[in-house]
Amino acid sequence: MGFEDRTCLITGSSRGIGSGIAEELADKGANVVINYRASAAAAEEVADRIRERGGEAMISQADVTDEAEVAAMHEEIDDAYGSVDVLINNAGINVDTMFSEMTRAEWDRVIEVDLTGAFVCTKEFFDDIAEAPEGRLINISSVVGKQGNLGQANYAAAKSGMFGLTRTLAIELADSGSTSNCVAPGFTETSMIEGIPERVRDRIRSEIPLGRFATIEEVAATVRFVASPEASYITGEVIDVNGGMDL
């Protein structure tokens, strides 16, 4: 799908959906940058899996909320591969607490990583995306940004904020021919799901028309399509991968 010689940066890609996206894009020929904040060993494991299959990958440390660290990551990528063609803002955390008990620190931490982190990285790489022949900005949100979820007011607010950021940047990038889109997964088979009690997982599954959680591969394949040249006329969209949860 035309990823040869294209450089793709996926933030927070040492595990979960981010690592799946990195492997999917590398398998299609991209130069992949696996960003991590603290888990260097996990990031290197993802890179090793890619290299074992003949792909090209590097790891790069940066806290997405730290402008200096993100700028240093930009320099490191530029030295290795040149400018970034595809930026995927995937880094995120959740700190779940009922709103009546949520502290300002718990609110700020999630907003800072999940939403402001996307701002910081997009600001740093905006010119790269605008100047790329097939520039792509992709924000990874969540069905929770549309529906809300018990105990996740901070997470829902951050993920919903990504919708407005995505659409505004689609307008601002349009003159360059580059696109900005959002992929919003539903509940996906990751370590986060594994920590949910089985009775709660059963209840969630019962609310999904397709009756199951998404796989990482299904989400990654959607991101790959949105990042591809074939998606050049899609911009400003929120693309759901949730098994029909919002029907």
What is the set of active-site residues?
155
Report the distance separating Cα 225 and Cα 241, nearest Å. 13
Rg (CA), the chain: 17
Question: Positive or negative, the Cα torsion across 246, 11, 26, 138?
Answer: positive
Tokens of 227: 């990042």
Report the distance separating Cα 97 and Cα 32, nearest Å. 35
Tokens of 194: 């594994």
Helix, strand or coil, per DSSP, at residue 35: strand
Q: Are strands 31-36 and 56-61 parallel, antiparallel or unpaired?
A: parallel
Q: Which is nearest to 80 in space by CA: 109, 116, 37, 47?
A: 47
- List C-alpha distances in Å: 183 to 49, 64, 159, 163, 237: 25, 19, 11, 9, 8
Helix, strand or coil, per DSSP, at residue 87: strand
Q: Are 3 and 25 in contact (CB under 8 A)?
A: yes
Report the distance separating Cα 14 and Cα 22, nearest Å. 9
Helix, strand or coil, per DSSP, at residue 34: strand
Tokens of 42: 């996990």
